Structure 1
Amino acid sequence: MMLKLSPATKEALKVAIAFTLSIVIAIALGWQKPYWAAISVIVVAANDNYNVAIKHGRNRLFGTIAGVIFAIFNVHYFAQDREMFIFSVLCFATICVYMSNWQRYGYAFKMAFTVGIIIAAMGQFDSFSTFDFAVLRVQETTLGILVYSLVFQFLWPRNTESLFKQFISQLTDRHIEQVERQLTALYLSGRCSDISDDENNQSNEESNQLALLLKEAISDSSRIYSERKIWMKLAAYLLDAKDEKAASTDSSDTLKKHLQQRYLTLQQIKRLLCRHDIEAIGRITSVSSMKPIEIKNDFWGEVKNALIANYQNRLIYVFRALAALSTCYALWIYLPMPAGILFPLIASSFVNALCDAPSAYYKYAVLGICTFSVLFLLEYIFILPALTEVYELAAFYFINIFLVWKMFAGPQLSVLRVLGGNMLVVLTMTALYLTPVYSITQSLNMLLFIFIILIVVRFYTMLTEEIGEGMMGKNTLGPRS
């Protein structure tokens, strides 16, 4: 009898295999920074949809190339002029942070800034060293994306079609549960229970995710493309705002009849989805009468939207980034920070990642950092120095990444997965050098830097939120969609 693995276990195994292979291959090729390839795997694996993850990986590659160009230009012209160097970095940060809201290529802009700072700093502001690190960075990023692609393509592959159908099935189940709750409240109290703000927010997120998955599935699957009209009508039925808000507009008897009919229809859809009878779903009156949802492919309209959509909040994110970066660079210049260039390098990466996060996010970030840092530092002190062979090192990283991905499975915990994977790499990176070095000092310095940076960024985040609430009302500066 074969052992049946859960989807979360399969996903964790695939990520752990891709992560470990990228490190082993980079070491075998004699590359100096094997952890760059591993970090590429972590970032692209944070997406549950393989096809979206691959596009995320392509954006990472595009961003890497743009960051390389910026780093070489900046070091070549401003390496000996500190003020101009910092000014050019802040200008580049302004562009990257503002444009990182672009759904199609936003991650490329976010990646470009991080890579540009890393390469310029690691090259010690020397043009020849910077070029060498730039080439190495592109090589290792490409390796990580390639290994991830091959592993996810051939080991328990998950295509967009299966992910889309799985999401439709889950969405149908959620609507059945919601209608059951409304009917129960209607029979017990004579009135329908109201839909909470959390449920409304969840519905908006589901609407965006469903539209994205349907668009990807139509592009990638010939079967979904041939059945696209039925799927578009079914999606419209499941996301029908009139049905979701019927409780506030209909009388008790009318509402009861409406909810009973919707419940029966949803149960019928569920049965037909289990039998994969899509044609029969298209013949259901409630579904066939719906207007199909729109799948937009207007590239220039998307570009225009990327430039002006939500510009108020994006300008706030730019202000946070510039203020936090300026503060961190001033601390580095005027205070005796240890570890040389490491502090502004880490500050640039963290500020770029956190400038759009709400202040409530930081308590979870601190909790995650504390938990992961204690665990990984203990392993770094007591386990890693005893590992002398490549296969032992591979087993160490495989087990840790597998546990992180398995324990924090699910889309809502993707931030903790990325945080755990990055903390593992950051705190143990010296063990991945071609000549391993074990020094707790550098790891502790990096932890100190991380907490200082979190304090600085959180200060400006809370400041802008307070100003925003005072000027435009509460809840206008939430996280980016």
Structure 2
Amino acid sequence: MFLSDKAKDSIKVGLAMVIAYAIALYMDWDRPYWAGLAVAFISLETSGQSFNKGAQRIGGTLLAAVAALVILSLYPQQRWMFMVVLSSFVLICTYMKSTTRNAYFWNVAGFVTIIVAVDSASSNEPAFYTAMLRIEETALGVITYSVVSAILWPKTSAKALYGTTSQLSRAAASIFQDTLDNGFSRAPRQYLKQQGKFSALQARFEELSNIAQLESYEIWEVHDLWKDTSKLWIDYERAIEACRQNIDDVQGLDLEKHLPWRKQYMEEIEHRLAGIAQMSSDDHMSYTSPQREFHVNTSDTTGLKQLEKAALSLYVNQLKNLENITYQLYEINAVIFGLHQRSDTSFTITHPQKNYIINIGALKGAFRAFLCLWVAYIIYIYVPDIPGGSVLLILAGVYSISLSTDPYIRPLTLLKIGVPSTIFAACIYLLLMPHLHSFWSLGAVIFISVFSISYFFHSPEATLGRMFGLANLVMTTGISNNQTYSFSYAVDQLLVFLIVIAIFTGVSTFTLNLRPEIQYLNLLRRFFNGASYLLADQNNGITSKDTVWRRYLRRHYVNEIQNIPHIMRGWIAEISPKIEKSELIKIIVVLEALSIRLTVLMDEFKTAEENQFYAVLKQEIHGWSIQLKTDLAGLVEEPSGKALEAAAKEREIKLPEIEETISKAMQRQNKDEVELGEQLNVYRILGGIRSVYQALEDYEKQSQKVNWPYLKEARF
């Protein structure tokens, strides 16, 4: 009988935990549960992932030890300055956790600094001893789990990466076919589910490609190509969504007539994606050069109106972008899997320059951790008989830092997970452990308990339950060579947890107002404010000088409109059941469409800066974008969409004017004098403006189905 992956992973965690405790107890180290915590928190699916997380935990612990010792040496007798500097360092670590790739490193650095500094300040042990002990215990846990994971049913990240590449390319082919066949209109839920699966695979691919190079020389040799591939899959995801946004605008056209190469184009793209899946699945295949003889820019526009030409031009440009991305994906994967020579590739992948942007959400999460730490510190100072003592301060910091990236998790959810897991650990501590007389019996209890928690909370959705279960088991049992048993200790553990959750809830409610309905509305207003600014900036660019500050704001608001719809999804699950959540999700789908259409439009405006034909129509286009900016600014004040009814009527009046303006401009400019690229660029700008108008109309229609009065109602 074969064991499932879930059972194998649980056995590895349980066995590593027993070995870590055995070594720590044999060495007579204080607080062996620190080694147990390291095992609990670094156990992941593959050896590479676990090793990477373990390395980050050790690195974060080293930084924390240095920071704690420095803070203690600077302010040994000044408790308020001590807390000012400690909380400021924690604020920085919490912010960095949300804005860098090595999030776990900064997470560990933040809460371990609190543990070492507070524990040293409130105990008789030297600070250096506490810091070194924490490093030793952490290293023990990391090394133990890494060895067990490498020996027992090892899973390499390289193998997982190849499997993910195959799944990702097949998912890409499926979503490509559904997109061009307008599958979203027929079955929107199924399409969105498929889109979510692709996004999850793409994120997993990016993570594994970064980790696998650490454990596989073959991947390290071409790690730059894996990085290029990851960037191209991100581009593909965005390009396919941009294409979907424009499908409805061209559905009424005879695409077989206007784009005679479309069928051949679709067959070739599907062939390329299937080829990538074959390469990564180790199926024997020979390299076949991708076909590129169809002319994506050519189209028969006979009989089309000007705005229909604009929509078709925008659609063709998106197809061209998809063709280029899939061509590059196929060629790079052929090099990675040894079917093609690197020197034969005729292109290079340009990675965007990373410019710093202040992350508002991360700043709020860091500020909440800062306030939680201060509230706990004041309680600790002025309420000397508080249960747990310094443990209260430590746990307040640990929970607030760890949950800083999940602001939508309700305190009730934490209580439902934390209270039962604490009671479960207390039962083991009070009812079983006093009857154990050897490490063999203790090891059996540890193994069974850890295995059970890991097994029943194995799925990604149950990660929070798994972490709480293992952490509370390790902390509540407090296993050591000088074991004592106290009912009041177990009760204090539960009381400290409840007080920490109360602090967390109070800070969240009275400072940041994290009620889901309010956050949903605030994010909605932020989105429309960002969109309005980008259009205003585009219009101001005609007369104003481009400054460093303007460029920063432009990056900031582009980042806002791209990320806010994703953030809004996290809040929907916690919104009151009296509001139909499916309608709120549809609002987000419309916002995602609007985000992509605005981004595409901004890119086309940038391309048009040197366009002579665009200069002829600049003033008219400026007027239309001013109206769009006004509509979006109105949504900042009133996000229910009522003001858009007039805008929709005005759009119906203006469309014929737009077509007449284009026709006159084409007549004034001799058609032969206008380059095809410039002409298509202007058509794409007009198509982009039209598509943004259409997205606003969709928002207005969808907003009528939302219970706005209840969503805005003031409640505690």
Superposition TM-score, scaled by structure 1 size: 0.82
Helix, strand or coil for the counterpart of 1:398? helix
Distance 2:234 2:101 in 1: 26
2:188 aligned to 188, 193, 202, which one?
Answer: 193
Identical columns (%) = 22
1:152 aligned to 149, 152, 167, which one?
Answer: 149
- Residue 341 of structure 1 corresponds to 390
Which aligned pairs between 1:66-465 and structure 2 lie closer than 5 A? 66-125=63-122, 129-172=126-169, 174=171, 191=186, 193=188, 200=195, 203-218=198-213, 220-224=215-219, 236=232, 240-241=236-237, 242-243=239-240, 246-250=243-247, 273-277=280-284, 279-280=285-286, 289-291=327-329, 308-335=356-383, 336-429=385-478, 432-462=479-509, 463-464=511-512, 465=514
Please report how far the alpha carbon of residue 345 of structure 1 lies from its aligned counterpart in structure 2 after TM superposition: 1.9
Bigger Rg, structure 1 or 2: 2
Distance 1:151 1:129 in 2: 33
Please report how far the alpha carbon of residue 423 of structure 1 lies from its aligned counterpart in structure 2 after TM superposition: 1.3
Going from structure 1 to structure 2, the CA distance change for 1:136 and 1:223 (only over 3 Å counts) comes to: closer
Distance 1:383 1:328 in 2: 33
2:21 aligned to 20, 23, 30, which one?
Answer: 23
Please report how far the alpha carbon of residue 143 of structure 1 lies from its aligned counterpart in structure 2 after TM superposition: 0.8
Going from structure 1 to structure 2, the CA distance change for 1:365 and 1:173 (only over 3 Å counts) comes to: farther
Does the CA-based 8 Å contact 2:268-2:290 persist in structure 1?
no
Helix, strand or coil for the counterpart of 1:388? coil
Helix, strand or coil for the counterpart of 2:154? coil
Does the CA-based 8 Å contact 1:75-1:126 persist in structure 2?
no
- Residue 48 of structure 1 corresponds to 45
Please report how far the alpha carbon of residue 351 of structure 1 lies from its aligned counterpart in structure 2 after TM superposition: 1.8
Helix, strand or coil for the counterpart of 2:328? coil
Deviations 1:121-154 (A, max 9, x none): 3334468522211121111111111111211122
- Residue 534 of structure 2 corresponds to none
- Residue 551 of structure 2 corresponds to none
Please report how far the alpha carbon of residue 85 of structure 1 lies from its aligned counterpart in structure 2 after TM superposition: 1.7
Going from structure 1 to structure 2, the CA distance change for 1:480 and 1:396 (only over 3 Å counts) comes to: farther
Deviations 1:321-340 (A, max 9, x none): 12211112222222331233
Does the CA-based 8 Å contact 1:101-1:480 persist in structure 2?
no
Going from structure 1 to structure 2, the CA distance change for 1:259 and 1:122 (only over 3 Å counts) comes to: same
Letter in 1 for 2:39: V
Going from structure 1 to structure 2, the CA distance change for 1:84 and 1:127 (only over 3 Å counts) comes to: farther
Letter in 1 for 2:207: L
Superposition TM-score, scaled by structure 2 size: 0.57
Helix, strand or coil for the counterpart of 1:240? helix
- Range moving further from structure 2, 191-200 or 154-163: 191-200
Distance 1:110 1:407 in 2: 26
Does the CA-based 8 Å contact 2:214-2:220 persist in structure 1?
yes
- Range moving further from structure 2, 389-398 or 213-222: 213-222
Unaligned runs of 5+ in 1: none
Going from structure 1 to structure 2, the CA distance change for 1:427 and 1:229 (only over 3 Å counts) comes to: closer
Unaligned runs of 5+ in 2: 257-261, 292-322, 334-347, 528-563, 571-716
Going from structure 1 to structure 2, the CA distance change for 1:71 and 1:273 (only over 3 Å counts) comes to: closer
Please report how far the alpha carbon of residue 219 of structure 1 lies from its aligned counterpart in structure 2 after TM superposition: 5.7
Deviations 1:287-324 (A, max 9, x none): 972355998999xx77xx6xx34522222122211221
Deviations 1:171-229 (A, max 9, x none): 3565577679879996xx98463676676565444333322322443564344467879
Does the CA-based 8 Å contact 1:356-1:479 persist in structure 2?
no
Letter in 1 for 2:100: Q
1:59 maps to 2:56: yes
Going from structure 1 to structure 2, the CA distance change for 1:194 and 1:123 (only over 3 Å counts) comes to: closer
Does the CA-based 8 Å contact 2:179-2:240 persist in structure 1?
no
Please report how far the alpha carbon of residue 415 of structure 1 lies from its aligned counterpart in structure 2 after TM superposition: 2.7
Distance 1:369 1:324 in 2: 18
- Residue 39 of structure 1 corresponds to 37
